[in-house]
Amino acid sequence: MPQLGLLPRRACAALLSQLLRPPCAYSPGVVHCHSQGQESLQVAEAVLTSQLKPHQEKTNFIIKTPKGTRDLSPQQMVVREKVLDLVVSCFKRHGAKGLDTPAFELKELLTEKYGEDSGLIYDLKDQGGELLSLRYDLTVPFARYLAMNKVKKMKRYHVGKVWRRESPTMVQGRYREFCQCDFDIAGQFDSMIPDAECLKIMCEILSGLQLGDFLIKVNDRRIVDGMFAVCGVPESKFRAIGSSIDKLDKMSWKDVRHEMVAKKGLAPEVADQIGDYVQCHGGVTLVEQMFQDPRLSQNKRALEGLEDLKLLFEYLTLFGISEKISFDLSLVRGLDYYTGVIYEAILLQTPAQAGEEPLSVGSVAAGGRYDGLVGMFDPKGHNVPCVGLSIGVERIFSIVEQRMKTSGEKVRTTETQVFVATPQNNFLQERLKLIAELWDAGIKAEMLYKNNPKLLTQLHYCENMGIPLVVIIGEQELKEGVIKLRSVASREEVAIKHENLVAEIRKRLSES
Amino acid sequence: MPQLGLLPRRACAALLSQLLRPPCAYSPGVVHCHSQGQESLQVAEAVLTSQLKPHQEKTNFIIKTPKGTRDLSPQQMVVREKVLDLVVSCFKRHGAKGLDTPAFELKELLTEKYGEDSGLIYDLKDQGGELLSLRYDLTVPFARYLAMNKVKKMKRYHVGKVWRRESPTMVQGRYREFCQCDFDIAGQFDSMIPDAECLKIMCEILSGLQLGDFLIKVNDRRIVDGMFAVCGVPESKFRAIGSSIDKLDKMSWKDVRHEMVAKKGLAPEVADQIGDYVQCHGGVTLVEQMFQDPRLSQNKRALEGLEDLKLLFEYLTLFGISEKISFDLSLVRGLDYYTGVIYEAILLQTPAQAGEEPLSVGSVAAGGRYDGLVGMFDPKGHNVPCVGLSIGVERIFSIVEQRMKTSGEKVRTTETQVFVATPQNNFLQERLKLIAELWDAGIKAEMLYKNNPKLLTQLHYCENMGIPLVVIIGEQELKEGVIKLRSVASREEVAIKHENLVAEIRKRLSES
């Protein structure tokens, strides 16, 4: 029953409270009346629709996908398949195993993992039994899996949907259901070697997808915290201020500063000190500089972070990708669970191509080190250090889709290789026998589901669908024991002995 | 907070009623106290746990997947990938396009589509906004897609998870989250041609998977209804009696009869008449027989169904699969939306193989014709006839997994081709350079994330993981500009010029 589940509870609370208060204090009838009013309205609606259903349902009934979600058309599925194949093959190239987890988890497992974003978690209705929530990312379920199975070492990838109740107006072009592709390395290893591989993977995928030039911002949570500490941010405000800084890619420093001071009560001079830092970005030389920074170098954790970044850059140079990486003190990453290195890949705005309105895509991949998360799930608090990355495939899909649109290239949504046609009536039986022969030979084949289709209709279908070959059977062919094989592109036709048909088709397909 | 959603509502109703009653009638304070008691208890609990979280959470906190769900291990994912690849490639062989829909739909879209099973639908919590439910199958979302986009013709496949709140005790070995693979043909076509292709697809997939001998039961909803009508079942009881009959694969006729008579109030003589029919099954000859059946032949809709089945068998013979098909009058299929031909594939019990306890798997694929479903979503009620099938891949996964276990064959969970090793200390830099070279050449490569691993540890890793090739670099090799290439199987090592390494590896891999 829509909303009825909640409203009466509010109404009830109001009423109960009245019974517990001395009569004189009686007043919040407003609440009661209000919710009462709403309730009866709701009931009326409910009754109305249920009465209408048999007759008028059709008219008063909106057919749509839920807010913030969408269907994926065959055209979009083709793009998806291409992109995901490239991503997954990269993950496999780096020795990752596949893993899958349920779409929902116990609600309590997800709480206190996502900082300010926790409000975006979808809960399932209590239908008796456990309280469940749809997964918000693939990282927390992975950590839960490791703790639950006492796995101390694992390199896994996971492609799956996650759900977040973003208000689409607030966050442009984001969906509430979207696909994530995660790669993570769990285990106690020598410093920065797995971390460097994660950045290598991001580079391989982004170059492989040919999305244009990109940059990967790198920072370390310990440097962020150190920075806040030396600037005089009270520790209680670290997360709040962090999530303000995190908006610097969307908002100007002026606006971020205002948010920190006016909304989050940070002293202006503290904000300005942060400002000096968060405007710094550069390569390994900036790391060296920060070692010399009079204030930051006083902070133990910041120094640990800088040590790691220095080592990381050394490995990135050996991987030949250091010029793609930028040490950026404004990178914070919202999520609570990061403990060390963090990174985020952005596409650099390329001048819009002919007829293509420039897309502001922002981050297309991100990740970091989270050494404490598994311990939050382990009964004894045993930790398994983890580092990983997530590819923002949805944004990548939309870029590739737009590229295809503007390029105007026609995308095939089927893979059919051969079409079975006839110029004559009453040839359904022969067509059915013939197409079964092709299917059983593993050839992708289609025919029209009509008893007597027109030949022209059949040939047009092939041209529209981009089917390369047509086999044609009629009385003449049947008599001579041959099948006509037609190339849709050249329109050439040759008669082929029926017994040689499959071989000939295979030959043609292997050539093309 | 469990039950709180309901209890206070009841309490609330009671309290509201009191406000509408004269004071003298005041009494059911019990309800109020009771729910109050419970409520405060719940609240207390909530507070308690939230207070405990930082400290004792670990101890009072169960880490598990939600009831009826499970993680899929890398081993299981390998099986899944193999099976799904075969299924999807068959769907593509028949010219299907890919389609994806959201995991949840507007709740009202799913109501009144699943008959007695509607209670198994997962609802999402009302967090403000639309009322949503997790999809229960892939068919209703497909119909919704067709109506929403005014698509009149489409052949699509869809692989995705669906969710049903089965009580695991009731339905053995079923999960509440499971994967479905659907193929459907929508559109107005000549009779039985698409229907026959659906059965052909089921045969291709089940033979392709080599699960042993199978049988596909076929019936028609119009024959079922006709049968009920001529036996004297009141039309209001059709669905209820249908779902009893549907249990004949799990229950004896005696028990089903008892359910129909005792629980569903069917006259015993009517039950017995049904009994005569539902025990009939056979090939096309049984279809012929039923045409002659004195009572059934009196029913117009039953005759339509029989006409279609006759034609269907003709096409199935041309496809060469008629001996796999059995016309079975006990087949009913629970779902409300079927309107014509229905079918269900079962694996025939093969004598358990060595050490393999016999699995009772029941139905592994099913489907049918649903010509009315799209119209339920179309504002003007325009219909799009549809026929389709769903592969019960979960059951297939478990069979294949069990086969693999008993066969004892070791399954590789990674695809790594080459391992980068060193016999010496302080060779991390060279290993990193070398592995990047391999990755950039598209070779699947791994190394240990240690500065100075032991050579034996590295070689053992390769043997455990089934990695076929090892490249070894040390001082000697570095000096001579070569790399040692080792075959893990034969343990042979050869020195190869560094610049020829990738080519040689590719050669070795293409040979194996």
Question: pLDDT, tens digit, for every residue of B175-191?
Answer: 999 999 999 999 999 99
Rounded to 5°, the CA angle B486-B491-B496 comes to 25
CA–CA gap between residue B308 and residue B301 (Å, rounded): 11
SS3 content of chain B, % helix, strand, coil (to 5): 50, 15, 35
Q: What percent of chain B has pLDDT over 70?
A: 85
Burial class from Cβ neighbours inside 10 Å (0-12, 13-18, 19+) for residue A274 reads: buried
Mark yes or no for CB contact B428/A193 under 8 Å.
yes
Residue B48 structure tokens: 């308690």
Give the annotated binding-site residues of B for L-histidine: 137-139, 164, 180, 184, 333, 337-338
d(CA A85, CA A93): 12
B42 CB neighbours in chain A (<8 A) are none
- Maximum Cα–Cα distance for chain A, whole Å? 104
Sequence ranges of the binding site of B: 137-139, 164, 180, 184, 333, 337-338
Q: Give yes or no for A106 touching B (CB within 8 A).
A: yes
Q: Other C-beta atoms within 10 Å of A447: how many?
A: 23
Give B365 to chain A, closest Cα distance, Å. 20
Inspect the interface and report whether the beta carbons of A126 and B196 lie closer than 8 Å.
Answer: no
Per-residue DSSP letter, B246 = G
Q: Mean pLDDT lowest for which of A310-319, B5-14, B284-293?
A: B5-14
| Interchain CB contact of B8 with A (< 8 Å) | yes
Interval A337-360 mean pLDDT = 74
Name the burial class of residue B464, with classes exposed (0-12), middle (13-18) and buried (19+) by CB atoms within 10 angstroms of its CB: exposed
**Partner residues linked to B485 by β-bridges:** B471, B494
Residue for token digits 């080599």?
B210
Q: At what angle do helices A268-278 and A221-231 cross, to 10 degrees?
A: 140
Q: What backbone torsions phi and psi does residue B483 show, to the nearest 5 degrees?
A: -130, 140
Name the one residue in this structure whose structure tokens are 């608090």: A381
Mean per-residue pLDDT, A372-380:
92
Which of B36, B66, B109 faces A132 most closely, judged by CB atoms? B66
Sign of the torsion angle spanned by Cα atoms B449, B450, B452, B454: negative
Nearest CA in chain B to A32: B16
How far is residue A484's CA from residue A472's CA, in Å, rounded to a whole number?
5
Q: What is the dihedral of CA A388, A392, A397, A400, to 10 degrees?
A: -80
Taking the C-alpha atoms of residue B374 and residue B384, their distance in angstroms, rounded to an integer, is 6
Contacts of A84 in chain B (CB under 8 A): none
Q: Which residue has the tokens 């059946």?
A: B293
Q: Which two tokens stand for residue A414?
A: 């089927």
Asked if residue B447 lies in contact with residue B484, where contact means CB atoms within 8 angstroms, the answer is no
Nearest to B12 among A12, A125, A413 (CB): A12
Per-residue model confidence (pLDDT) at position A41: 35
Residues in chain A within 8 Å Cβ distance of B96: 414
For B394-414, what is the mean pLDDT?
A: 90
Q: What is the 3-state secondary structure (H, E, C) of A196-221?
A: HHHHHHHHHHHHHCCCCCEEEEEEEH
Q: Give the distance between the most distant pair of CA atoms in chain B.
A: 105
Check whether B355 has a pLDDT greater than 70.
Answer: no
Task: Return the beta strands (E) in A128-277 as ranges.
Answer: 132-134, 154-163, 177-186, 214-220
Tokens matching residue A444: 């992708």
**Tokens representing A170?**
């607030």
**Binding site feature residues of A for L-histidine:** 137-139, 164, 180, 184, 333, 337-338
For A190, the closest of B73, B132, B451 (CB atoms) is B451
C-alpha to C-alpha distance for A173 and A401, rounded to whole angstroms: 14
Neighbours of A161 (CB within 10 A): 19
Q: What is the mean pLDDT of residues B211-236?
A: 95
Cα separation, A61 vs B27, in Å, equals: 44
Residues in chain B: 512
Set of chain B residues whose Cβ sits within 8 Å of the Cβ of A161: 103
Please state, rounded to an integer, the average pLDDT across all residues of chain B.
86
Alpha helices by DSSP H, A345-454: 373-377, 393-407, 428-440
Q: Please report residues of A whose CB lies closer than 8 A to that of B378.
A: 58, 63
Distance to chain A for B274, nearest Cα, Å:
31
Closest chain B C-alpha to A237 CA, distance in angstroms: 19
Smallest CA-to-CA distance from A96 within A146, A157, A142 is with A157
- Tell me the pLDDT tens digit for each residue of B43-80: 333 333 333 344 344 445 689 999 999 999 999 999 99
- Rounded to whole angstroms, how far apart are CA atoms A426 and A403? 46
Token code pair at residue A64: 């749509």
Sorted by sequence, the CB contacts under 8 Å of residue A391 that are 6+ apart come out as A87, A180, A181, A182, A202, A205, A364, A365
**What integer pLDDT is reported at residue B159 of this predicted model?**
98
Among candidates A8, A100, A315 on the partner chain, residue whose Cβ is nearest the Cβ of B12: A8
8 Å CB contact of B122 and A127: yes
Report the DSSP pairing between strands A281-282 and A97-98: unpaired
Q: Are A243 and A115 in contact (CB under 8 A)?
A: yes
Tell me whether strands A445-446 and A418-421 are parallel, antiparallel or unpaired: parallel
Mean pLDDT of A409-434: 96
Residue B174, pLDDT score: 78
| Cβ–Cβ below 8 Å for B58 and A163 | no
pLDDT at A51 over 90: no
Q: Chains A, B: CB contacts under 8 A, how many? A: 293
pLDDT value at residue B375: 94
pLDDT for A168 equals 61
Task: Tell me the per-residue pLDDT of B423-467, one tens digit each, with 9 for 90 and over.
Answer: 999 999 999 999 999 999 999 999 999 999 999 999 999 999 999
The residues in B 107-166 lying below 8 A from A, measured between CB atoms, are: 108-109, 112, 122-127, 129-132, 134, 144-145, 147-149, 156, 161, 163, 165
Residues 212-231 of chain B whose Cβ lies under 8 A from any Cβ of chain A: none
Nearest to B190 among A124, A196, A450 (CB): A450
Residue B202: name the closest of B394, B364, B370 by CA.
Answer: B364
For residues A257 and A220, the answer to whether their CB atoms sit within 8 Å is: no
Residues of A whose CB is below 8 A from B319: 432, 436
d(CA A53, CA A32): 31
B387/B381 Cα distance (integer angstroms): 18
Integer Cα distance of B212 and B356 in angstroms: 14
Q: Which residues of B touch A443 (CB under 8 A)?
A: 93
The reply to whether B55 touches chain A by the CB within 8 Å rule is no
This prediction has a pTM of 0.85
Task: Give B239 or A196, the one with higher predicted confidence.
Answer: A196
Q: Which residue's entry shows tokens 């201020």? A: A241
Q: Are B471 and B455 in contact (CB under 8 A)?
A: no
A232, A267 Cβ separation under 8 angstroms: yes
Nearest in space to B412 (alpha carbons), one of B368, B339, B463, B361: B463
pLDDT in tens, B261-280: 999 999 999 999 999 999 89
When CB atoms are compared, the residue of B97, B190, B381 closest to A414 is: B97
Residue B161 has pLDDT above 70, yes or no: yes
pLDDT band at B167 (very low <50, low <70, confident <90, very high): confident
Chain A residue nearest residue B49, CA to CA: A108
- Closest-CA distance of chain A to residue B257, Å: 32
Please report the ipTM that was assigned to this predicted complex: 0.85
pLDDT for position A356: 53
**Optimal mutation site among B59, B155, B191, B318, interface A, most CBs of chain A within 10 A:** B318
- Chain A residue closest in CA terms to B78: A98
d(C-alpha A296, C-alpha A378), whole Å: 34
- Measured CA to CA, the distance from residue B494 to residue B492 in angstroms comes to 7
Q: Which residue has the tokens 């799009």?
A: B384
Measure B291 CA to nearest chain A CA, in Å.
24
Cα–chain center distance at A294: 41
Identify residue A394 by its one-letter amino acid code: E
- Distances, alpha carbon B197 to alpha carbons A204, A458, B154, in Å: 42, 18, 14
Interhelix angle A501-511/A428-440, nearest 10 degrees:
60
Taking the Cβ of residue B169 and every Cβ of chain A, the question of whether any pair is shorter than 8 Å is answered with no
Alpha carbon of B155: minimum distance to chain A alpha carbons (Å): 10
Residue with tokens 């908006």: A247
